[in-house]
Amino acid sequence: MNASYIALVMDEQDNLLVYKGKGRHTLEEANSIATDGDLRKQLAKVRRKLKLSQTCQVLLALSVATDNMIRAMHMNPEVQFLDVAANMNSLKREMFFAVVKGATGQTFIVNATVMPCGQGWIFLKIYETFFLYLYGKTAIERIQLVLTDDDPCSHGALANVKILDKCWEGVVHMLCVFHGLIMAFHKTVWPKLPHKRGNPFELTNKGKAYCTSLYFHSSYFLSCFFLLIFLVL
């Protein structure tokens, strides 16, 4: 099975090189991206952290999608689930994943990217360069909803790419249920509920009654909300 790829490499002048293609790349497939300002400072910091000499190239990011992953993206691009997993390889680099969901409810991983860090500039490269090359402009234009966690670097870059590239401008961003509701509940609501004395993790009967009431009201609200989203999409 063929695998399309796009790699982001930093050269000895801290410029970014992009290698892309199927299989082993050719010299003609390498494009140089000039860097300056804050991005150059960040790249120099990465080089120092990795303790690399000034004469070698550094593989910053590698984004891979097999033929089946690209096919799944083209068939189900409307809703994207984007997340980052940590400590999945020997170098302790973060892994970025994009997942789509088919009409039958089955989910498919459509992108796996090894990242050098979790800063906003690498997310921006993934959205505006990696995704566009691997899946094409038409597939990106068909994305309607992107769900992420509450990482400002991830969804902040998404907000920026919507301004920079027209094919992203129709995308709506939302937090996943866990980060948008559950974590917000435990952060803002849970401390205000009546707890048993000396035990901040256990509620009184009145507190449990409040939780039950909140559960039914929020379930009704979510049902109406997702019905509205379904009708709009």
Domain match, 157 and 47 both: yes
Domain match, 156 and 227 both: no
Domain match, 35 and 136 both: yes
Domain match, 154 and 99 both: yes
Domain match, 153 and 209 both: no
Digits of tens for pLDDT over the chain (233 positions)?
A: 567 878 888 877 778 888 776 544 455 555 555 666 777 777 777 777 666 666 577 788 889 888 889 999 999 999 999 988 887 766 678 899 999 988 888 899 999 998 888 888 999 999 999 999 999 999 999 999 998 888 888 888 999 999 888 999 989 988 766 555 666 666 676 676 677 776 766 777 766 676 666 665 565 556 665 556 555 55
Q: How high is the pLDDT of residue 54? A: 60
Residue 50 counted as domain residue: yes
Q: What backbone phi and psi angles, to 5 degrees, belong to 135?
A: -115, -20
| Burial class of residue 68 in the structure, from the number of CB atoms within 10 Å of its CB (0-12 exposed, 13-18 middle, 19+ buried) | middle
Q: How high is the pLDDT of residue 155? A: 85
Residue 180 counted as domain residue: no
Contacts 24+ apart (CB under 8 A), 2-6: 2/66, 2/67, 3/64, 3/65, 3/66, 3/67, 4/64, 4/65, 4/66, 4/67, 4/70, 4/134, 5/62, 5/63, 5/64, 5/65, 6/62, 6/63, 6/129, 6/130, 6/133, 6/134
What is the C-alpha to C-alpha distance for residues 109 and 117, in angstroms, rounded to an integer? 21
| Among 151, 175, 199, residue at a domain's last position | 175
Q: Which domain holds residue 161?
A: 3-175
How many domains does the chain divide into?
Answer: 2
Domain match, 47 and 115 both: yes
Domain match, 130 and 206 both: no
Domain match, 103 and 210 both: no
